[in-house]
Structure 1
Amino acid sequence: MIRCLSVAVLLSLAPLGVAAQGAEVAFGGMRQDTSAPVEVTADALQVNQSDGTALYTGNVLIAQGQMRLAAPRVLVVYAQQAGRIKRMEATGGVTLVSGSEAAEAQRADYDIEGGKVIMSGNVLLTQGPSALTAERMVVDLKDGTAQMTGRVRTVLQQSPDGTAPQGQP
């Protein structure tokens, strides 16, 4: 989950209402070697040679390095080069986990060549008792950052003595 909230998130919080229009978060655990092999497991597979796609359905789990993506349906689009994946479109309720960080959304589009994951539809990002929600989140896997937009809501839990909970910034 979020190892460190950026100053932009902290400055965007209203004193009592914790809603903001947009926020940028540090996403250190989501750094990813986009050249690492991609492993996909699912209940079923349909391959379409004419348009260069593969549709995985049922308990789909995609692994690349430390990153795991789970969804009921994932469409894999291959690049012109044989054997290279261009992008993946996951739908039906998606969970993205990398190390200790995790996010959920209705949809995730993973541009492997560009190293970006765009999650949309009721995005939820949590770390321990703290949480961020938004309509859309763009994760840059190369530099480990994320941009959240669309009525961002942040809930930061504090310990009784006013310090951040253990493991929080």
Structure 2
Amino acid sequence: MKPASKRRIILAGALLAVTLATPALAFDRNSDAPITVRADHARLDDAQGIATYTGAVELVQGQTRLTAERVVLYRNEDGLSRIEASGTPAHYQQPTRNGGETDARALNITWSAAKRQLTFEREAVIEQNGNLFRGDVIHYDTAERVVTAEGGEDTGPGTGRVEMIIQPRSTSSTQGSNGSSQSE
């Protein structure tokens, strides 16, 4: 991909507080809450530590929810190590501390315990309290709370660039007094 067609933006601090205001925004393998999976079909390869679910898959842990057409769970000696979801699109939802909700969607969503990262790929969109973040690939480092986004090829009606829409402070009653969607 040409440098002009692929743009990378790293956002931290205030911009992250506006777009992703939940403390972990991920599944937690150290949580006491079980992960419940519902699907039309399941295949478990216990020797490899891989479970594959297909057909209207719903994965829930606490109030975190992932829906997709296909979900693959990988386990190692430490427990759940990776989740790969695909759909048209796959959806990731999690409530925020201030009563709002993070709603993310992409054709592919991956959670990695080792990297402590969520990755949204292909037609990725994250919405929260009227704010929007869009890119071809969006990585969210759950430990450092840093978002990295990449634009894609300009192949038609879109520009191929990363897009972010931040609502003004006065337009959302669910935002904090500082205009961010995060409440401490």
TM-score by length of 2: 0.67
Residue 130 of structure 1 deviates from its aligned partner by 3.1
Residues 29 and 144 in structure 1, CA contact (< 8 A), matched pair in contact too:
no
Mapped pair 1:94 → 2:95: no
Corresponding letter in the other structure for 2:21: G
What SS does the corresponding residue of 2:30 show, helix, strand or coil? Answer: coil
Corresponding letter in the other structure for 2:50: T
TM-score by length of 1: 0.72
What SS does the corresponding residue of 1:29 show, helix, strand or coil? Answer: coil
Residue 135 of structure 1 deviates from its aligned partner by 0.9
Corresponding letter in the other structure for 1:104: R
Q: Which structure 2 residues correspond to residues 158-169 of structure 1 after superposition, within 5 A?
A: 158=168, 163-168=170-175, 169=179
Closer, same or farther: CA 67–141 of 1 in aligned 2, 3 Å? farther
Residues 73 and 90 in structure 1, CA contact (< 8 A), matched pair in contact too:
yes
- What is the match of residue 132 of structure 1? 133
Q: What is the aligned length?
A: 145
Closer, same or farther: CA 138–30 of 1 in aligned 2, 3 Å? farther
- What is the match of residue 157 of structure 2? none
- What is the match of residue 115 of structure 1? 116
Residue 104 of structure 1 deviates from its aligned partner by 0.5
List runs of 5+ in structure 2 lacking aligned partners. Answer: 1-6, 96-100, 152-160, 180-184
Name the structure where strand makes up a greater proportion of residues. Answer: 1
List runs of 5+ in structure 1 lacking aligned partners. Answer: 1-19
Identity, % of aligned positions: 23
Closer, same or farther: CA 46–145 of 1 in aligned 2, 3 Å? same
